[in-house]
Structure 1
Amino acid sequence: MKDMQAQAEKLRAEAAECALIRDLATAPHKRELFDRLAEHLNTLAGEVEKAIANRTETRA
């Protein structure tokens, strides 16, 4: 379970980095790319967190 939480945190950190790059990018296509990457990584982190919650609920 701890490894899953660590992966979710890593995905959130990577999403934050992508958002920072997006904010600093001057080229529109790079802003779009890093915006999509940030959204995708946040979605993945959310899915991992849902899996953790479901696993916790089934054990309770």
Structure 2
Amino acid sequence: MKDMKAHLEKLRVEAEECELISKLATNPTKKELFAKLAAHHRTLANEVERTMNESK
């Protein structure tokens, strides 16, 4: 469970970093790419969290 918590936190941090890069990007393609990556990392984090809650 400890590993899953660490992975969950890492995914959340990566999502925030991607969102920040997306907001700061001036290139529309990069802006869209990093927005999609942020959303993907959030989805993965939600799945990890759901799995952790089901394991309790």
TM-score, normalising length: structure 1? 0.91
Question: Root-mean-square deviation (CA), in Å?
Answer: 0.4
- Percent identity reads 57
Structure with the greater alpha carbon radius of gyration = 1
Unaligned runs of 5+ in 1: none
Runs of 4+ in 1 over 3 A off after TM superposition: none
| CA offset digits 1:1-49 (Å, max 9, x no partner) | 0110110000000000000100110011101000000000000000000
TM-score, normalising length: structure 2? 0.97
Unaligned runs of 5+ in 2: none
